[in-house]
Structure 1
Amino acid sequence: MSSSNGDWPGGVKPQVTALPPDEWQPWPLCQFVLKIHSRCDLRCDYCYVYEMADQSWKDQPRRISKDVIAHTASRIAEHAHAHGLPSVHLILHGGEPLLAGADHIAHAVRSVRQALGPDVRLQVSLQTNGMRLDESYLELFDELGVRVGVSLDGGADDHDRHRRRPDGRGSHATVSAALGLLSERYPHLYAGLLCTVDLDNDPIATYEALLKSEPPRIDFLLPHGNWAEPPPGLPAEGGATPYADWLIPIFDRWYGAPQRETEVRLFADILHLLMGGTSSSESLGLGPARMAVIETDGAVQQSDTLKSAYPGAPATGFHVARDTFDAVLRHPAVMTRQLGADALARECRDCPIVPVCGGGLYAHRYDSGNGFSNRSVYCADLFRLITHVRGRVQRDVATLMEGR
């Protein structure tokens, strides 16, 4: 076992009200992000992998080797069988995963599926920028049962402001063509769109541009930032809520539509949590983190969004060739992210919406002074958005009760 597994992220022990008791058992991992290629064919200026604090991508092999794939498949199967998991989710990621090539992608999926055997169902998805998504890839994904998510930031001008090729040309036209093929010919593989919020874009125009490809789901992402490096347009102090102000008109349009146009993951998760349910992502709620990232060199890491905090933030010191995923679960930083409210800052634990907010995305809590023991840099935005959603639901329920 690596000697680094006793280190707390940022060198700071999180402020928790109670450490796990001796009999405490972690939740097994069920989601594995496999970085099959570490480079990209776009140069997006907001990318947390290439443009933010952790620049370790430069030292990674460009493409994951077959040996690392074999070790990863074995470790996933070992973990799933040991914990009796009925299914696991494999997410093919990058960089840009399609740069790995069709044969290598097929080898990775088949290796994991074969290692798991018939008793564990393998769900596979792939997140791509869409630049290389064509008929041949979609035929392969149809054969392998791989669902495809595509990154799109709205209309042409809005998308191309950030998501550019290395030579500066925009990517919207190419991505739109790929989305047309995906949505028209292979709708059963279409997982949805990922859109990074840009305050310079009109929210409703962005939403309507995304709807044009008929996505089954839209995932709006807040730009990665923290207290040391605040996100664009968000001052570190002052209580401004520009991101909530941007998202609320979309929520009102989505929630009030006569027919559901698509699922918006952020809004659906807030609604589920308000009603006592669970979240589908690590961005909200108090559910345990159950995801690990495997880099192209076989290193096992926490969520790669932590690359936005400081160099080495996602590292665990573990490697698929020598360490089990059960060992990863005992890394203090991983355990901390399974402790729910006990791992949050005091001001979060005392907040009335903490069951929904959950302290926000872990990476967004970072400050260079005390690590991750803080509220989210998006705290005010999350509070305003969640209470707005709650208010809409409460008014609707009251109206229904009055009409009985």
Structure 2
Amino acid sequence: MTADAEPGGLPVVPFRQFLLKIHSLCNLSCDYCYMYFAADQSWRRRPGVMSLGTVRQTVDRIAEHAREHGLSTVRLILHGGEPLLVGKRHLAQLLAVVAERLAPVVEVRCSMQSNGVLLDHAFLALLSHHRVGVAVSLDGTRASHDRHRRFANGRASHERVAAALRRLNEPRHRNLFVGLLCTVDLESDPVESYEALLEFAPPRVDFTLRHGDWKHPPPGLEHRSVPPTRPPGDVPDGEPTPYAHWLIAAFDRWFDAPRKETGVRMFEEVISGVLGGAVNTEVFGLEPVDLVVVEADGELEHSDSLKIVGEGVPETGLDVFRHSFSEVLATETIRRRQAGLRGLGPVCRDCALADVCGGGLYTHRHHPTTGFETPSVYCHDLAAFIGHVRSRVHTAVARLGGGAPRIGPDHPSALF
């Protein structure tokens, strides 16, 4: 990874991922959503749609950043709210701006994160024309999905999402299918949830943890109010780890399959980490953050998940009209998130799992008193899960008669 030098020896890693909030509203009312039901309510003051003027300024700033840092590729992630709410005409104009103003400067890999409800053949044809990949949120079984992902009037959404996924899986559109994103729900059976995702033959699956911090712990961890004062090591007796148990059950189902049914990003990255390779996710690893958020009004922000911490916490005070992306790189939050081990609090720095865990998601570390100096509210769950993966992987390596090879992040499960 190319990095520019900064006084003090800390490398500056340019942004390579640009998350564009092209629509501020959503057609679902998911009860765990960090956009609308969290402490930060800034969506109320933003325009519903990112205007074409803001799109042009944004892509020009991205082109400027690519030239400044010699980037060969950038990734655009169209996001919301629900990005398809912009409508076909506006989306076509937006993608035309990207093609005209950014694609001549740098290779653009574009994808969209959608709830899938509006994903019809006309949208798919448009996305195909502009080579935009589609990832869809699906929370496992029909019952699991509809427990949380409903319309504002309470109507279930699974049927609409499943129909969209069947369209996405048609031969003419299959190449657009990026994968499925599933939020872990302790009320759901992990194996049933994983197998329900497999029914749609996703090329890739990722699991995400419910957002929470030490002030707003996620469901099942309400008892956690005091961060650990020493690395967890082996999880102490009596400390519940419900999320680890959920992930372990899903991991074992995936790991023990006679053939690789689909890639599971979280699992592959942790395998890479326990074998000494790189770990490239927000939840795990020490790789420097290279993603920035552009809101619908052009304001530049840190990770969306920070909205659960408090009003204004994701804000940088910068925007695409007056500031460059390199100015965002100089903010304290980005410098900390690009500092690797040095960016963690003392407990995490002393932890033997730090190279794999990376302290957990930055948002999940927040405590009202100590800020982001604390371990993740999921600390014990992450430790238990990583320990289980390490045990399974090392046993498999020993069975194959090998040592513990270092493997690249592109092939984290190559041994299996």
Q: Among residues 190, 196, 210, which one is paired with 1:223 in the alignment?
A: 210
Deviations, residues 286-342 of structure 1 (Å, cap 9, x unaligned): 000111000001000001111111111110000000100111100111111100110
Q: Among residues 206, 212, 215, which one is paired with 2:199 in the alignment?
A: 212
Deviations, residues 208-256 of structure 1 (Å, cap 9, x unaligned): 1111000011111100000011000112157321001011011111111
2:310 counterpart of 1:310: yes
Check the 8 A contact 1:74/1:112 in 2, yes or no: no
2:284 counterpart of 1:290: no
Check the 8 A contact 2:10/2:339 in 1, yes or no: no
Aligned-residue identity in percent: 49
Deviations, residues 159-189 of structure 1 (Å, cap 9, x unaligned): 1110001110100000000000101241110
1:119 Cα deviation after fit? 4.7
The residue aligned with 2:70 is 84
Deviates more, 1:392-401 or 1:340-349: 392-401
Q: 1:229 to 1:170 in 2, by over 3 A?
A: same
Q: Which runs of 5+ in 1 are unaligned?
A: 1-19
SS across alignment from 2:317: strand
CA distance in 2, matches of 1:326, 1:270: 31
Aligned counterparts, 1:93-242, within 5 A = 93-185=79-171, 186-234=173-221, 235-236=223-224, 239-242=239-242
SS across alignment from 1:180: helix
Query: What is the identity, as a one-letter code, of the residue corresponding to 1:26?
Result: V
- Once superposed, what is the RMSD of the aligned Cα atoms? 1.4
Higher normalized contact order (CA 8 Å, seq sep 6+, divided by chain length): 1
CA distance in 1, matches of 2:264, 2:93: 33
Q: How many residues align?
A: 384
Aligned counterparts, 1:359-378, within 5 A = 359-378=359-378
Q: 1:402 to 1:69 in 2, by over 3 A?
A: closer
Deviations, residues 128-168 of structure 1 (Å, cap 9, x unaligned): 10110000000001100000000111111111110001110
1:279 Cα deviation after fit? 2.6
SS across alignment from 2:26: coil
CA distance in 2, matches of 1:197, 1:25: 34
Q: 1:392 to 1:25 in 2, by over 3 A?
A: closer
Check the 8 A contact 2:301/2:314 in 1, yes or no: yes
CA distance in 1, matches of 2:324, 2:105: 20
CA distance in 1, matches of 2:77, 2:277: 24
- Taking structure 1 as the reference length, the TM-score comes to 0.93
The residue aligned with 1:57 is 43
CA distance in 2, matches of 1:65, 1:116: 17
CA distance in 2, matches of 1:381, 1:108: 41
2:335 counterpart of 1:348: no
The residue aligned with 2:23 is 37
CA distance in 2, matches of 1:308, 1:76: 28
Check the 8 A contact 1:76/1:116 in 2, yes or no: yes
Deviations, residues 50-74 of structure 1 (Å, cap 9, x unaligned): 1111111111100011111111010
Check the 8 A contact 1:218/1:264 in 2, yes or no: yes
Check the 8 A contact 1:366/1:372 in 2, yes or no: yes
Check the 8 A contact 1:273/1:279 in 2, yes or no: yes
Deviates more, 1:291-300 or 1:98-107: 98-107
Query: What is the identity, as a one-letter code, of the residue corresponding to 1:200?
Result: E
Check the 8 A contact 2:357/2:382 in 1, yes or no: yes
Query: What is the identity, as a one-letter code, of the residue corresponding to 2:205?
Result: I
- Taking structure 2 as the reference length, the TM-score comes to 0.90
SS across alignment from 2:281: coil
SS across alignment from 1:184: coil
Check the 8 A contact 1:76/1:112 in 2, yes or no: no
Check the 8 A contact 1:316/1:328 in 2, yes or no: yes
2:26 counterpart of 1:26: no
Query: What is the identity, as a one-letter code, of the residue corresponding to 2:364?
Result: H
Deviates more, 1:98-107 or 1:139-148: 98-107
